[in-house]
Amino acid sequence: MANTFDYIIIGAGTAGCVLANRLSLDHTVLLIEAGGRDTKPEIHIPAAYTKLNKTRVDWSYWGTPQSKLNNRRIYLPRGKVMGGCSSTNAMAYVRGHRLDYDEWEQLGNKGWGYEELLPYFMKSEDNAQLSNEWHQQGGELHVSYRPHTILSDTFVEACESTGIARNPDCNGNDHLGAGLLQFNIKNGKRHSAAVAFIKPILDRKNLTIITHAHVKKILVKDQRAIGIEVLTGKNTTQKFHVKEEVLLAAGAFNSPQVLMLSGIGSKEELGRHRIPLVHELEGVGQNLQDHLFTGVGSWSKSKVGLNHQLTLINQMKSLFQFMANKSGPLTGSPLEANAFVNLNKTTQDRTDFQFHFVPLHLGDSSVIDLYDIKSFPTNRDGYTILPILLKPKSRGSVNLQSADPKATPVIDHNFLSEDEDAATLLKGTKMAIEIISQTPFNQYREKIITPPLRTSDDEIMAHIKLQTETLYHPVGTCKMGHDSMSVVDDELKVHGLSGIRVIDASIMPIIIAGNTNATVVMIAEKQLI
């Protein structure tokens, strides 16, 4: 195998798969992935995604104790497999609000306004139902609405009862409102970035893929990236050289880690781990942002949800149905419907809060494992609204635990450190309680079970502190910009170095108002220059 390539891509996640597909048409490309191929069966069964957590395809990270959340350590699932998080997430296809991107451009990032980015969202889209000025058909990545339970229609009606407008397409002209979600699911199976962009080109001679390989560091000479050093076995180290660029696409936790291991970052942080300073950039690993959610749930009077589908016998029936003809409950995401709202009304038409709707309840205990399907009760059906803090003011960090490339990074989100975040999440949770109490739910609602106590702000806040989790949308740790804490410029080139770009969610200067995977696809499409 040759050890020199035109491009080296670190990370075969969402961005890495897009980049490998596009660049290997005309260039030699090496794609490096720490995990393995996407052979685990549960990856391709949409409803089985929670069974991927804490397995060999998950980095299984945990954050540091969070003082504002009862000193709890928050579980942080990350895909460690071809396709990255697109192989392990809930498959929702959401682009965010147009003003998110206009804000990026207003920060001095030329070319990152919504109108200029829309063609890159559309470039790879294959939308099963929509073809208009916001959507197209024929691209690599399948997008579609999915069959859903009656409870999701009821949720949309309940939102309308509280004054939230119905919106059939949050990825179209309007972002605000309630409606059904779109998903990356095709023919009943997950349509990950690996399936969409890598599987069709596995025979392409220009593309070399190495899995189960940990990048030790990026090699830099005279302020230019010249290659990488990789651990490919217990004691095996290999070097690969690059003619054009090293493209770092390892995600919001691992991209800053790789930079710091390479001697690129804060002088103080690198010195703490005795890593020689190659290039000082104070912002590496800073500016961490993520979405937070809690739960407002109810039991239902009848079996109209998904809880009863989780009994062992029903899971076996559903699996048989899936294997036979790719139909049934296993072909959909547990997420079904969604609402975007302008909760604080600080800016006209600006989304600042989100509600996911799932047609199952998570139990009547405040402390549960939201990422373990085995913990979900099956004795009765129910439904849950997940109030989501979209625009946190709090900022966290990613630092090194040691100079060992296989060591877990130190991840401190600093959740709710800004009082405004706690106030907004409380306000949104109260709105979720209002929605779930609306008349359209009367025919299904037996009893609201979470928050268990909700007659005062203190009671609801106690519930939030006990149950709040991350929606696993970390961004910002190699932020794009031109200030002293920026890591990359608006071409995603690392400041002060040549031959290296960061292309993943870590470059977002401010987190978008919505799920982040579709935006990562767009970021990769845009940077093919």
Element of type H or E holding 32: strand 29-32
Please tell me the number of Cα atoms within 13 Å of 49 on its side-chain side. Answer: 27
d(CA 275, CA 278): 9
**8 Å CB contact between 354 and 340:** yes
List beta partners, residue 182.
Answer: 145
463 catalytic per annotation: no
pTM: 0.95
Q: CA–CA distance from 275 to each of 95, 151, 248, 360 (Å)? A: 38, 54, 19, 48
Positions of CATH 3.50.50.60 in the chain: 4-40+194-288+476-526
The confidence score (pLDDT) of residue 285 equals 98
226 alpha-carbon distance from chain centroid:
30
Instruction: Supply the pLDDT for residue 110.
Output: 96
Amino acid at the residue 297: G
Compute the distance between CA of residue 186 and CA of residue 142 in angstroms, rounded to an integer.
Answer: 6
Rg of the chain in Å (alpha carbons) = 22
Those residues with Cβ within 8 angstroms of residue 54's Cβ, 6 or more apart along the chain or in another chain: 60, 77, 371, 372
473: its two tokens: 């949308």
Contacts of 151 (CB under 8 A, 6+ apart): 300, 304, 305, 336, 357, 359, 383, 444
| pLDDT for res 184 | 97
Active-site position among 27, 135, 473, 495? 473
Strand-pairing partners, residue 340, are: 177, 354
Give me the amino acid identity at 524: A
Contact 485, 286 (CB under 8 A): yes
The CB density around residue 509, as the number of other CB atoms within 10 Å, is 21
Mean pLDDT (10-residue bins), the chain, 529 residues: 90 98 97 97 92 94 97 95 96 96 96 97 96 95 94 97 96 95 96 98 96 97 97 87 98 98 97 97 98 95 88 85 86 93 83 95 68 74 96 97 96 97 97 98 95 94 93 97 97 97 98 97 88
The answer to whether 333 and 91 have CB atoms below 8 angstroms apart is: yes
Strands (E), 319-381: 337-341, 353-358
Cis peptide before 119 (omega within 30 of 0): no
Pairing of strands 214-221, 224-231: antiparallel
pLDDT of 93:
97
**CATH 3.30.410.40-classified regions of the chain:** 145-183+292-391+416-467
Q: What is the CATH number of domain 4-40+194-288+476-526?
A: 3.50.50.60
Q: Distance of CA 268 to CAs 92, 275, 284, 399, 500, Å? A: 39, 10, 12, 11, 23
Output the CA torsion sign for 416, 112, 178, 139: negative
* Helix, strand or coil, per DSSP, at residue 40: coil
Give the closest residue to 121 by CA, choosing from 527, 523, 528.
Answer: 523
Topology of the domain comprising 145-183+292-391+416-467: Cholesterol Oxidase; domain 2 (3.30.410)
Nearest to 330 by CA among 44, 12, 9: 44
